[in-house]
Amino acid sequence: MPQEVSLRETYGKTLVELGRENSDIVVLDADLSRSTMTRFFASELPERFFDCGIAEQNMVSIAAGLAASGKIPFASTFAVFVPGRCFDQIRMSIAQPGLNVKLVATHGGISVGEDGTSHQSIEDLALINSLPGFTVVVPADAIETAQAVRVAASSYGPFYIRLCRPKMPLVYNDDYHFNLGKAVTMKRGEEVTIIAIGTMVAAALEAADNLKREGTGCCVLNMPTLKPLDE
């Protein structure tokens, strides 16, 4: 079985690395740093960490102001809250002016388990994809997460990165290179093609193995960048 690694912890630790490399990187959270794992940054670089409390709209607006001042803000909370609770602020203060804000949402989709239906975000990707200028990335494992966060930090413009709650099996090796806007062929096959993102990539690979045992060749594509879409 492939090793399972937390995407959230990988995100938090990658933020610390980036923060040490670039003094313009700042991190914001909305009272969930122990869940989003921005707590690692808060512990290591507290002077550049801002806990905005249970006020996601305010967090987004502060992030926009920091970006307008030349900083590179990473703002995090659960996907059900960003963009769900602060869509207007994202639209008006980040998307329309094209500010350099990185929104990283954890607990995406129905992966939240015991957190319950109130925390299941099934609309976030549709909402954020409707906004102009956003780059939208849904990593499949921890290796892809670390690279996607680094690409976001070095690319100008608004980003939305969606992470899941549970640990996920590694689907890549250390030699993997994340290419923004490009699909990745995970398996080749001639009869069926499965296109997957995020948590569903590992499931798609398992399904392809099952189909192969039944005599059906299955191609699996990982589409980590939802916007811009690889055409």
CATH number of the CATH domain containing 122: 3.40.50.970
Whether 175 is covered by a domain: the verdict is: no
**What is the bridge-based pairing of β-strands 4-5 and 168-169?**
antiparallel
Longest dimension (CA), the chain: 58
Whether 176 maps to a domain, the answer reads: no
State whether 188 and 164 are in the same domain: no
Catalytic residue numbers?
Answer: 56
Rounded average pLDDT over 25-52: 98
Pairing of strands 218-222, 192-196: parallel
- pLDDT band with cut points at 50, 70 and 90 for residue 3: very high
Asked if pLDDT for residue 77 goes beyond 70, the answer is: yes
- Distance, in Å, from the CA atom of 7 to the CA atom of 94, rounded to the nearest integer, reads 25
Last residue of a domain, one of 142, 169, 196: 169
Query: Which pLDDT score is estimated for 231?
Result: 84
49-51 vs 25-29, strand pairing mode: parallel
Tokens of 115: 């957190």
Task: Say if residues 12 and 34 touch (Cβ distance below 8 Å).
Answer: no
pLDDT, one tens digit per residue, over 140-180 is 999 999 999 999 999 999 999 999 999 999 999 999 999 99
| Confidence bin at 91 (pLDDT 50/70/90) | very high
The residue among 114 and 32 whose pLDDT is bigger is: 32
Q: Can you give the residue range of the structural domain that contains 42?
A: 4-169
Reported confidence tier of residue 1, pLDDT bands at 50, 70, 90 = low
